[in-house]
């Protein structure tokens, strides 16, 4: 396992889906920032399941408890902040019927090969439940970033074959799918409903944008900002690809089309997605994530069990038919964590001249 992330803003997560709790230590939060449970809780609520028919029906309050790093007046102390959320609605029996089988599309097989045991019921560390810790840490990162005027948004721009034609962030934040385009929101829902009615699931694309990032963040050559954001996003379960700016579309462009020219007010376009040479340009950072269809489906599939026997599996229980609305707030959090880390790291070297 490697559950520690970051250089200056260090995040260490823990917790299995069906264990006593999930949580996180964040080391590297500057002293004197205002912090209280509510700031964390409101972020956690964004990722909370059970708020619509398109997300799994696990119902937990996900109430955060802050164990350290904040004084009685609600100010950060500069010391590690530990936050935990108890697991209260973990129904292990949902998993009994498929015990010992490698669920297709899940980490069961690879955990078994790596650790010699299957993940815990519900996926253990490979469960989406682990992302509670990321969102809690992301809330802290956002507190830091807010001070320098950085804001983030993640929303759904594609479900199956339905694309968003425009992006209305305000709408997306209130839509149960985080769909960015009111004109296609119903079509997106229909894509999911159709898949659900077949006992199936569907993939999509989540876009993450970040505004207000100062130019100069990111450290060539290995800790380029896009490399760090890429690792952060690809560490989220279900994300199978990431692109910045024109991304894969750049493959069919010419340099004269893809280069961002400059005028007196700065860049005249943003094909680069806000990052050049691994360093932020000061423009909006734009990235898109490929989200695979949920692996847990009701349709029966063939697999093996741990003894090597072929068997048929149909995964019952609470599962999101589409991961996009669940991944969006996590992606936002991981972007915030990465940018807070990049901003703090950059401060170490700023303004030194002989």
> Is 170 one of the binding residues for its own copies (CB under 8 A)?
no
> Is 59 one of the binding residues for its own copies (CB under 8 A)?
no
Residues with Cβ < 8 Å from 309, sequence gap 6 or more? none
> Is 196 one of the binding residues for its own copies (CB under 8 A)?
no
Question: Given strand 21-27, what is the order of strands in its sheet?
Answer: 4-5, 10-14, 21-27, 81-86, 64-66
How many angstroms separate the CA atoms of 76 and 229, rounded? 26
For residue 162, how many C-alpha atoms fall within 13 Å in the half-sphere facing its CB?
19
> Phi and psi dihedrals of 76, rounded to 5?
-70, 150
Segment interacting with its own copies, rule: CB under 8 A, options 14-22, 38-46, 49-57, 179-187? 14-22
Q: How far is CA 335 from CA 167, 199, 208, 224, 298, in A?
A: 19, 33, 8, 14, 33
DSSP state of 88: -
Segment interacting with its own copies, rule: CB under 8 A, options 48-56, 102-110, 167-175, 181-189? 102-110
> Phi and psi dihedrals of 262, rounded to 5?
-125, 145
C-beta of 100: minimal distance to its own copies in Å?
13
Per-residue mark of binding to its own copies, 279-308 (x: CB under 8 A): xxxx-------xxxxxxxx-x-xxxx---x
> Is 145 one of the binding residues for its own copies (CB under 8 A)?
no
Segment interacting with its own copies, rule: CB under 8 A, options 38-46, 49-57, 176-184, 209-217? 209-217
Q: Which residue of 44, 64, 82, 208 would you call a contact of its own copies, by CB under 8 A?
A: 82
Q: What's the burial of 352, exposed, middle or buried (CB within 10 Å: 0-12/13-18/19+)?
A: exposed
> Is 84 one of the binding residues for its own copies (CB under 8 A)?
yes
C-beta of 297: minimal distance to its own copies in Å?
4
Q: Which residue of 54, 95, 102, 155 would you call a contact of its own copies, by CB under 8 A?
A: 102
> Is 129 one of the binding residues for its own copies (CB under 8 A)?
no
> Is 63 one of the binding residues for its own copies (CB under 8 A)?
no
Q: Tell me, by CB under 8 A, how many residues bind its own copies.
A: 156
Residues with Cβ < 8 Å from 45, sequence gap 6 or more? 62
| Cis geometry, peptide bond prior to residue 221 (ω within 30 degrees of 0) | yes
C-beta of 147: minimal distance to its own copies in Å?
6
> Is 259 one of the binding residues for its own copies (CB under 8 A)?
yes
> Is 149 one of the binding residues for its own copies (CB under 8 A)?
no
> Is 95 one of the binding residues for its own copies (CB under 8 A)?
no
């Amino acid at each position: 396992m490697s559950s520690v992330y970051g250089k200056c803003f260090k995040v260490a997560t823990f917790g299995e889906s069906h264990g006593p709790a999930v949580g996180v230590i964040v080391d590297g939060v500057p002293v004197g920032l205002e912090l209280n449970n509510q700031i964390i809780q409101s972020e956690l609520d964004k990722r909370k399941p059970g708020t619509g028919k398109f997300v799994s029906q696990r119902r937990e309050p996900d109430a955060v408890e802050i164990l350290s790093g904040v004084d009685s007046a609600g100010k950060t102390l500069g010391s590690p902040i530990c936050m935990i959320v108890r697991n209260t609605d973990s129904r292990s029996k949902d998993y009994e019927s498929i015990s010992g089988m490698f669920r297709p599309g899940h980490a069961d097989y690879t955990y078994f090969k790596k650790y010699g045991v299957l993940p815990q019921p519900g996926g253990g560390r490979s469960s989406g439940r682990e992302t509670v810790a990321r969102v809690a840490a992301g809330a802290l990162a956002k507190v830091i970033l807010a001070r320098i005027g950085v804001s983030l948004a993640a929303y759904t721009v594609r479900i199956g074959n339905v694309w968003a034609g425009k992006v209305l962030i305000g709408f997306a934040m209130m839509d149960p799918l985080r769909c960015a385009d009111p004109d296609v929101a119903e079509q997106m829902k229909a894509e999911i409903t159709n898949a659900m009615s077949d006992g199936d699931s569907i993939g999509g694309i989540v876009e993450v944008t970040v505004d207000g990032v100062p130019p100069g963040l990111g450290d060539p050559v290995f800790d380029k900002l896009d490399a760090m954001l890429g690792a952060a996003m690809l560490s989220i379960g279900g994300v199978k690809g990431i692109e910045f700016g024109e991304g894969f579309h750049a493959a069919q462009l010419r340099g004269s089309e893809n280069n961002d020219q400059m005028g007196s007010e700065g860049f005249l376009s943003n094909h680069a997605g806000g990052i050049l040479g691994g360093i932020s340009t000061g423009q909006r950072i734009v990235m898109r994530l490929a989200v695979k269809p949920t692996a847990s489906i009701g349709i029966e599939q063939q697999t093996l069990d741990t003894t090597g026997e072929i068997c048929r599996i149909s995964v019952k229980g609470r599962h999101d038919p589409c991961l996009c609305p669940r991944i969006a707030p996590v992606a936002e959090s991981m972007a915030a964590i990465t940018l807070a880390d990049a901003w703090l790291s950059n401060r170490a070297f700023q303004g030194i001249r002989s």
